[in-house]
Structures are given as structure tokens and as C-alpha cells.
Amino acid sequence: MGLNKILIFAFCSIFVSNLYSQKDTLVVNLKSFSLSFSKVNDFSKGYSSILITDSLITRNIRSLTDVLKFNSFIYFKENGLGMVSSPSFRGTNAAQTAVIWNGININSQLNGQVDFNAISSNSYDNITVRSGGGSVLFGSGAIGGTVHLDNLVNFSKEEKHKVLANYGSFNTQHISYDHVKSNDKSFLNIGLGYNKSDNDFSYLDSNLTNENGNYLNYNFDVNYGYKLNENHQLKIYSSTFFGNRNLSRTLNAPSNDGYEDINSKNLLEWNFALSSKEVITSRISYIFEKFKYFDNNQNKSNFSDGNTQRKIGQIDYNNSISRKLKLNAILGFESIEASGSSFSTNTRNILSNVLSLNHQLTQKLSYGVQLRQDIQNDFESPFLYSLGIEQQFNQNYTLSFNTSKNFRIPTFNDLYWEPGGNVNLKPEESYQFEIGNAISLKNISLQVNGFYISSSDLIQWVPNLSGVWSPTNTNETRNLGIEFSANYKTSIKNHFVTINANYSYTDAKDLETNQQLISVPKNRLNGLVNYQRKNWSAFYQFLFNDDVQFLVDTIPAFQVSNVGVAYELSTLNGSPNIGFVIKNMYNTKYQNTLNRPMPGINFQITTNINF
Amino acid sequence: MNFKKTVFLMTIAGFLFASCDNDNDNEPILPKGNYDNGILIANEGAFSGGTGTVNFISNDYTITEEKVYSKVNNENLGTILQSIGFNNDDAYLIANVGNKITVADRFTMEKITEITSNLNNPRYIAFANGKGFVTNWGDGSDPEDDYVGVIDLETNLIVSEILVAEGPEQIIANGNFLYVSHKGGFGSGNTVSVINAATNTVVTSISVGDIPDELAIDTSGNVLVSCEGKAETSWNPKEVLGSLVTINTTTNKVGATLNFASGFHPNGMVLNEGSIYLSTSNSVYKMAESATSIPASAIIKTAVYGISVNENKVYITDAKNFQDNGSLKIFDASTSNELQDFTVGLIPGKIYFN
């Protein structure tokens, strides 16, 4: 098989290079080495990103959609609470936001998207939202931006248990358990999660209820690290999610649809420090996703299904040539197999080559260059690049610029769906420019970014001459906009206050029709105020989402707010934290997608124990 | 005489005059509602969460109105307005994904009632023997759950279900018998079922061409079936020719099959005053009922999503890109000249005449 041959070749070449590099092995620092993390930090000059902290995740633990819709620029087309949820970032479509799990792009090979309600939010130590194209580093679909889900492996002595248990309206339950046990030699993290809801809320100003909206999901995660010696570390990351949902009704139609999915992501990583400056990371990953869709959830013997299996091998070479110059080269091979009711079994092989350079030219001026060329059996892949420059003018102000060419390859559905699939599709191409301003003062930091994205050959499904829906490379779009984020922190005596706000303005146009793109809110604003005093903490979060065009209809603008209070029983063992949250506190009637109402005011009790 | 009295008398006189006038033989027929004397266009609407809508265009083209049902009743018809059936003054508006049939006055569009029970993916309706018969796909890939629902027109309830083969699509009444084309759901069918409207039973099943869709009754009382066949594509390497099948309604046997030329796969058929109009996605062809081959050239070249013919005019809807409002074009059936072009709703599928 091609994959094996290439992997063997690649491993052999590492060992050869290892022999040559053994001699300058000096002091090695692998302590806090996280490859995927470093890509976002070190090799993203000129890009802005938002790190979602642990407390934000805990607060919106129900799903990744909940975490991000209140804390990032991303608009979610959530098909009803807990239902299939796809992102729109900078006005791009759902398949143009890539999700990167521990460095690996996990967008569906079938539809190119990620369902943000089929990713547990309790499974990751860090969630980072990076604005802007990143196809060079993160592959297909990284056009509007990327969401990074990372697990950290630390070799420091620690043993902890964390239990979260929430209960809320509509019989909504969350229970998760997280355990870490580590020392200077090994690291083990086990996570379990459970979410369930009847989700049968009443629609406001209507006599309908959210029928057929119940969901249940589990996740199971293991992350393990072992330090063989100062130069070698082995890491295993594994994350598995089981979802069982019914798909809720709309204002205009009842539903008895059901959906079950399993996705499992597994990664073996070996970090080998050749010297104090050079690290080679080899990775083997196996990812599979499988879904079953039931047209009638009372008759589960009748369904349509799809599944994909991905085998990935990567050699990732990092060289911190000097403190000022960093180099990263990746050789990757991926073999994907997909099968399902609507298409026969097909395979795709991708060989990818990435070269990145980061250079601190002067104390204040730095730049990064990245190049990528994929080789695929299906079609020709474009040559991709990214260039970012940062100029720090003084302690308080940094100006940045980046430009990149990004792409999205056609999915298995696009190519092979029966009927309609079009094997003659080309990859979507996208060019973008961005200017960023970062201002950081004592208590406040501000980031203002302006972007311009021009995309062509966008894949669109339209009826062909024989009336069958079929994808073609037709659309051309132009998105421009501004993202503004502000963070403010202050403390007076025992009172701690933080305020975060994210505002985005997006103007996205179809260049053929000169019309605004559907499913893009022009203005979007979210904010968070946190207050803490001794054992008490409280928060208020809000979201404003502008009008959204959907075909010939308009989903009206809305503003929704949550408020919560928590108390830490610090005298008790494990310092349990008990809280109460009021969601949609003003009982606002709103929809994220057309005619799928979201719940009115509802409540949640949260408990959190660490021991 | 004061002014008031004059007005009163004039009103009386006017009334009397009008009454007299009404006794005349050439009395003007009063419209039965705001939507009489015009065209109704059924727009499917958005699949995801949307609702079907109805546009009205008056026969003299002076009045155009969108979303007439929603305006009159302040409620929606439901997702995907598949078709409308008429029984005297009652319109049965079938929401396919919405699993709902709204019964409304066809001329005022005022709601009478709705049918929501015992529907499963309803498609088309016909009336016979004082009952309504509505085809139901069930799950488009489950061959066991397809039926024709029988509607008691007094109560507007579905009182029984006649199990039929996969994917029952269009339905037409011929006296006390109903003919149902089995397009085949998500797969492909090739039969027409015959149902006895008196006993609610399937009498026979007739093999026709692949993917039978539109049905019509010709001047000799035969049922005509247009079969799409299958175009040659990368996922279907072997073409199946489209065909026009004539069913003898006395014997319920296929009388004649006219195979279409390679590449001709009709999406619509209308029978009007002795002529058969066949449409593909971009052309309309016209042939005599008695013709034995389809004409080589189209009478109209335009994008066709839905087609209908009435009083020597051809009405054609265009769903455009399925994201913006579609259009209705009206052509002269003799000269093929385009007479009118109206913007209508999202995915306009069907045209009816009031």
C-alpha cells in the first residue's frame, strides 16, 4: 500500500537524520512543548486569536456552540437548540471554518463541516479561535478562521479530580469527570462526559413546543504522555464522542427525524529532541466518523448512513535556529476512505508539504512565511502561501499585516454523491488580506482587525440540465469587515472585574448577483462582565446578532442575555462551587436559523467539585 | 328635499336599477372572492424551516399579490407546498414536509380547516366518489410505508389508508377509478396503480416506463403517463429513454408506448384542447394527441420548473437559482410569443386557474 511505503520511507529518513544530529545533543527543553499550540502562537504572525479560558468553557459546558457563540466572532447556524450547528466565520460558509484537534484538521470528509454540537466542550484544555485563513498550516477549509482544540500534556507532579454536574430546565443534564495524574515522567488524563436533554421547551408566542428535539451524548477521552528520557516523549491523544439526537421540528413542519453519530479521534505523537534547538515530531493518527440518519425515528431499521476513515502520518521538523529564527517543515500523508448509502466506497490520498519560517528581524519587526503544496490523486491542488508581518511600535502598540492564499478541496459528497456528484470539481480558492492593530495598556487590551477575503470557484449545488442537484465551481464572493475585541481587567481591594467584548462587522457579497450572502449577520456583538469577591462570583453575558438573510426571508435581529452567580464553599473538602444561571433572562423570542425558535427564559444549577 | 333624502333615494334607485340589471340575461358574474378570475401560483418555499406561499395574478394582469394565504389567515401553509387540489370551491393545499393539508376557499383563501393526522410525506390529491385521495410517500426509501389516504370530505379526516407501491406521486380520477403514478420515492418506480374509489382497493398495477410522473386524460378517455426515464450521467452510465404511455382505461392495459429520443427526459406534461405539451428543464414541445413522435424542435425555449396551459396560453415557472424568488412567464400557445413575465415566490412549482 502507498501509505505504508511512504511512512516507512519517512521514518527511515528521520532515523538517518537522527544519526547525523546526535552529536550536538545538549540541553533539551521539551518540558512545555506542544506542537499544535506552537503553530497558533509561533507561526501565526499577523493573525489574531482568542483563547477561551477554562471558566468560560465550564460556564457553557453544554456544547461547543454555546461556548463560542458568546465568546467569539463566529455566528452559528444552529438548527434548533442542541441540533446540527455549523459556523459562519467572517461571512464565509459552514465548510470554510476548520476545526483543528491537537494539530489535525477534523472537518468532515463528507460535507466539509463540523457540527459544533457534536463536540464535547469538556474534553479540551485549551480552545483557541484564530481569525483568518490558515490553509497552509491547517489544511482544507481554513478560510474564515480556525478553531483549535488542544490537550496539554505536562510532566509535573499533579493529581486532581474534577466533577461537574449541572441540571437545568427541560430536564437538561450535564455530568463530566476529569482526572489528571502526572509526575516528571508520565502524564495521564481521563475525561468522561454526559449530556442529555428532553429539550421540549415551549415556543414563545406560539402554541407549539419543540417536539422531537431530545438529545443524548457521551464522550470519552484519554490523553497520555510518557517521557522516555530527556530527548524522547511519547504522547497519545484519544477523544471519542457518541451522539444520539432527534431533529426538532420547525414553526412550519413537524419532524420525526433522528440522527446518531460516532466520531473518534486518535493520535500517537513522538517528540524527539535532536538538540536544544531541533525537535522532530512524528505522528500517526486514525480518525473515523460514522453517522446514521433516520427519516422516521420510530423505525430505526430504515436509515441512510455514511462513514469515513482517515489514516494520517506526519513528520514535523522544528528548528529554533536562533532565538530569532524558527523553522518548521512538515511532510504529511493522509489516506481517506469514505462509504455510505449515497455513494460507493471511494478513497483519496493526499501528500502534503509545508514549510514555515518565523523571523524576528529586529527587536520590533518580525515576519513569518509559510508555503504549502499538496499532491492529490483526485485533482490538482493549488500552491498556498501565507505571509505575516508584525511591527511593534512601542510597548503599547503593534501593527500587523498578513496575506494568504487558502483553499477548500471538494468533499466526498461533492465528488461522489449519487445522484449529482461531480468528479470534475476544482478546489475552492481564496485570497485574503488583513491588517491588525493591537493596543495593550495597563488594564485594557484592544485588538482591531480589518479583513478582505476574495473567493472564487466556490462549490455550489444547483439543479443541472436534467434537473438533478449537482455541485459546480460557480460562485465568486467578496467578504470584508472589521473585528474588534476588548479586554479590561481591574481590581479594587477584594473586588475583581473583567470585561470582554467582541464586535464584528461583515459585508459579504456574491459577486455574480451583487447580493449579500445568505446566513451572514452584518453586525454581531457579544460581551461578558465577570465579577468576583472572595467566595462569590457573578457574570453577565450578552449577544447581539443582526438580521440574517435566509433565501427570501429575514431572520430578525436579536439580543439575548444570561446572568449567573456562584459561591465557593471553601471551608468544605474540595471547595465545591455551586451556582445558579438564568439563561435568556429577558425572555427574548429569537431564532438562530429560520423558523427554529430558541427557548425563552430558563434556568440551570451548576456544581463543580475539585479534589 | 334635503340632501340626505336625495342621497337615500338615489341609493334606492341605484339598488333597484342594479336589481333590474341583475335580471338581465347578460348579468355580470360577481367574483366569488378576491382571488377569483386569476392565476394561483404555488411556491414550494424553503426546505429548511420555510413555508410554501401562494401568489395571485388577476386575469387582466392588473392585480398581483404575494403570500395571499398567509395574509388572509395570518398563518403559514407549512414547509414545501407540493401541490393544490380543488374540489368545487375548496382548495386542498398540500404541505409535503409540513405534513399538513390546509383546506381553504379557493376564491377567498379563507381557511376552512386543516388535516394533520395520518399524513406521511403527502404529495398530490384527487377527488372521486365523494372522497379525497391523497398520495403519501412515507419515508422515501422505505417501500413498505406508502399509501393513498382516503379523506372523508364531510369531516376532512383521513378515514382509511390504501397501501400501495413505493413512491406514489401524481393521482388522477377517471370516473370512479383513480390512477396513481409511482415515481418511486428516492428510488425509481415504473408502475401506475389503479384504485377503485368505491371499495378503496387497488384493482391493478400497470407497468409503464421508468419514473412515471404526470398523468392526464385524453379526449378518447385514455390515461396518458409521462415517464422521465433516466438521463445518462456519471452515476447512471446507461440511459433509460423517457416515454409517453397510453393506458386504455377500459382494459387497464398499456395501449401504446411512445419512446422519446435519447436525451429527452420530460419534467412536465399538460394536455389541453387536443394538444400535448411536454417540457424539459429548458424547452417546451407541443404535439397533437394523435402524433406518433415528438416534434424535433421546441416551441418555447426557456427555463421550465412548472408548466400549465389554459385558454391558449402557456404558463411557465422558473425556479431560478432556488435561493431567490422565481418567475412566471406567460406565452401565447399559437405564436409562442412571450406575453408577460412576473416575479413570484421561492421555487414556484405549480400553476392553477381560478
User: Which residues of chain A lie closer than 8 angstroms to B138, CB-CB?
Assistant: 296
What the block records as the C-alpha cell of B125 is 390529491
Structure confidence at residue A8 (pLDDT): 41
Write a three-state SS string for B7-72: HHHHHHHHHHHHHHHHHCCCCCCCCCCCCCCEEEEEECCCCCCCCCEEEEEECCCCCEECCHHHHH
Instruction: Return mean pLDDT, chain A.
Output: 89
- Per residue in A451-474, pLDDT (tens digit) is 999 999 999 888 777 777 889 898
HSE, side-chain direction, 13 A CA sphere, residue B335: 6
Closest-CA distance, B340 to chain A, in angstroms, reads 23
A552/B282 CB distance under 8 A: no
Query: What pLDDT band is residue A37 in, cutting at 50, 70 and 90?
Result: low
What is the DSSP code (8-state) at residue B329? E
Chain A positions in Cβ-Cβ contact with residue B260 (cut-off 8 Å):
none
Q: Measure the CA–CA gap between A238 and A265, rounded to whole angstroms.
A: 6
Cell 389508508 sits on residue = B161
A421 touches chain B (CB under 8 A): yes
**pLDDT class of A20 with cuts at 50, 70, 90:** very low
Interface residue A466 vs chain B (CB under 8 A) = yes
Q: H/E element holding B344? A: strand B338-346
Interface probe with A: pick from B73, B77, B82, B233, most Cβ of A within 10 Å? B233
Q: Is pLDDT at A418 greater than 90 in this prediction? A: no
For residue A593, the chain B residues in CB contact (below 8 A) are 48-49
Q: What is the pLDDT of residue A44?
A: 74
For residue A34, what pLDDT band results from cuts at 50, 70 and 90? low
Nearest to A419 among B139, B233, B323 (CB): B233
Query: What is residue A107's predicted lDDT score, i.e. its pLDDT?
Result: 95
Could you tell me if A471 lies within 8 Å of chain B, comparing CB atoms?
A: no
DSSP 8-state assignment for residue B187: S
Q: Are the beta carbons of A468 and B233 separated by less than 8 Å?
A: yes
| CA pair distance A248, A596, nearest whole angstrom | 8
Distance (Å, whole) CA A237 – CA A10 = 22
Residue of B nearest to A77 (CA): B48
Task: Classify B246 in phi/psi space as left (phi over 0), alpha (psi -120 to 50) or beta.
Answer: beta
Return the residue in B323, B343, B344 with the most chain A beta carbons within 10 A, the one to mutate for interface testing.
B323
Over the stretch B162-221, which tens digit does the pLDDT of each residue have? 999 999 999 999 999 999 999 998 889 999 999 999 999 999 999 999 999 999 999 999
- Evaluate if residue A2 carries a pLDDT over 70: no
User: B38 near B354, Cβ under 8 Å?
Assistant: yes
**pLDDT tens for each residue of A324-338:** 899 999 999 999 999
User: What was the pLDDT predicted at A196?
Assistant: 96
A462 part of contact set with chain B, CB < 8 Å: yes
Q: How close does chain B come to A6, measured CA to CA in Å?
A: 32
Q: Is A554 on the interface with B (CB under 8 A)?
A: no
| Minimum CA–CA partner of A518 in chain B | B323
Query: How far apart are the CA of B181 and the nearest CA of chain A, in angstroms?
Result: 19
- Strands (E) across B142-274 are located at 147-152, 157-163, 168-174, 177-182, 191-196, 201-207, 212-217, 223-227, 243-248, 253-259, 268-272
**Interatomic CA distance for residues A86 and A71, integer angstroms:** 16
Nearest to B63 by CA among B90, B82, B36, B83: B36
Q: What is the CA radius of gyration of chain B?
A: 22
Instruction: Report the residue of chain B nearest A461, measured CA to CA.
Output: B321
B81, B48 in Cβ contact below 8 A? no
pLDDT tens sequence across A254-281 = 999 999 999 999 999 999 999 888 999 9
pLDDT above 90 covers what percent of chain A? 74
CB pairs under 8 A between A and B: 92
Choice between A34 and B317, residue whose per-residue pLDDT is larger = B317
Give yes or no for residue A203 having a pLDDT over 50.
yes
**Which chain B residues are Cβ-neighbours of A553 within 8 angstroms?**
46, 50
Confidence at residue B23, expressed as pLDDT on a 0 to 100 scale? 47
**CB neighbour list of residue A419: distance below 8 Å, 6 or more residues apart:** A468, A470, B233, B235, B236
Least Cα separation, residue A412 to chain B (angstroms): 14
Strands of B306-310's sheet in order across: B306-310, B313-318, B325-332, B338-346
Cα(A391)–Cα(A389) distance, rounded to whole angstroms?
7
CA distance B143 to chain A (A): 10
User: What gap in Å lies between CA A6 and CA A591, rounded to an integer?
Assistant: 49
Say if A24 is an interface residue toward chain B (CB within 8 Å). no
Asked if B46 and A551 come within 8 Å (Cβ–Cβ), the reply is yes
Q: What is the C-alpha separation between A124 and B87, in angstroms, rounded?
A: 61
pLDDT attached to residue A348: 92
ipTM of this predicted complex?
Answer: 0.86
End-to-end distance of chain B based on CA atoms, in angstroms?
Answer: 47
Mean predicted confidence (pLDDT) in A155-165? 94
**Chain B residues with CB inside 8 Å of A296's CB?**
138-139, 142, 145
CB atoms within 10 A of CB A246: 21
Contact flag B233-A463 (C-beta cutoff 8 Å) = no
The neighbour count for residue B145, using CB atoms within 10 Å, is: 21
**Contact: B323, A551; criterion CB under 8 Å:** yes
Q: What are the tens digits of pLDDT across the range A282-309?
A: 999 999 999 999 999 998 998 999 999 9
| A208 has a chain B CB within 8 A of its CB | no
Q: Are the Cβ atoms of A467 and B95 closer than 8 angstroms? A: no
Which among B98, B236, B322 is the nearest to A252, CB-wise?
A: B98
| The amino acid at B329 | K
> Residue A364 phi/psi, 5° resolution?
-110, -20
> Is B48's CB within 8 Å of A594's CB?
yes
**pLDDT value of residue A509:** 93
Calculate mean pLDDT across residues A132-152: 92
Amino acid letter for position B325: N
CB-CB under 8 Å, B141 with A465: no
Is a pLDDT exceeding 90 seen at residue A11? Answer: no
Chain B residues whose CB is inside 8 A of the A423 CB are 234
Q: Do the Cβ atoms of B281 and A593 come within 8 Å?
A: no
Q: Do A385 and A410 meet the contact criterion of CB atoms below 8 Å apart?
A: no
B245 in helix, strand or coil? strand
Find the helix or strand (DSSP H, E) in which B241 lies. none
Question: SS3 for A179?
Answer: strand
Tell the residue number behind the cell numbers 394527441, with chain if given: B289
- Nearest Cα of chain A lies from the Cα of B148 at a distance, in angstroms, of 19
Longest dimension (CA), chain A: 76
**What does the pLDDT read at residue B2?**
46
What pLDDT, on a 0 to 100 scale, did the predictor assign at position A52? Answer: 82
Cβ B139 vs Cβ B146: under 8 Å: no
pTM comes to 0.88
Q: Is the peptide bond before B28 cis (omega within 30 degrees of 0)?
A: no
How many C-beta atoms surround the C-beta of residue A275 within 10 A?
A: 17
| Yes or no, beta carbons of B98 and A593 under 8 Å apart | no
- Asked whether the beta carbons of residue B46 and residue A594 sit closer than 8 angstroms, the reply is yes
8 Å CB contact of B141 and A302: yes
How remote is the C-alpha of B70 from its chain's centroid? 20
The predicted pLDDT at position B29 comes to 77
pLDDT per residue over A553-582, tens digit each? Answer: 999 999 999 999 999 998 888 889 999 999
What pLDDT was estimated at residue A36?
Answer: 60
CA–CA dist A95, A144 (Å, integer)? 9
* pLDDT level of residue A149 (50, 70, 90 thresholds): very high
Give the pLDDT band (50/70/90) at residue A323. Answer: confident
Residue A148 Cα distances to A125, A126, A170, B251, angstroms: 11, 8, 31, 69
- Three cell numbers at A525? 456583538
Place of cell 500517537: A268
Question: Which residues of B have a CB under 8 Å from any CB of A?
Answer: 46, 48-51, 76-80, 95, 97-99, 138-142, 145, 231, 233-236, 265, 267, 281-282, 319, 321-325, 345-346
Q: How much is the pLDDT for A574?
A: 81
For chain B, residues with pLDDT lower than 70 are 1-27
Q: Name the residue among A537, A559, A427, A592 with its Cα closest to residue A56.
A: A537
Q: Residue A587: which pLDDT band, with cuts at 50, 70 and 90?
A: very high
| Cα(A553)–Cα(B51) distance, integer angstroms | 10
| Burial of A479: CB neighbours in 10 Å, binned 0-12, 13-18, 19+ | buried
Q: Name the closest residue on chain B to residue A301, using Cα atoms.
A: B142
Nearest by CB to B139, which of A302, A465, A551? A302
Bigger pLDDT: A417 vs A384:
A384
Distance CA A214, CA A257 (A): 11
Query: How far from A380 is each of A234, A435, A457, CA to CA, in Å?
Result: 35, 31, 14
CA gap B122, B210 in Å, rounded: 21
Q: What is the pLDDT of residue A370?
A: 93
Partners of residue B97 in chain A, C-beta under 8 Å: 252-253
Question: What CA–CA distance (Å, rounded) separates A10 from A350?
Answer: 15
- The partner residue sitting opposite B50, judged by closest CB among A252, A422, A468, is A252
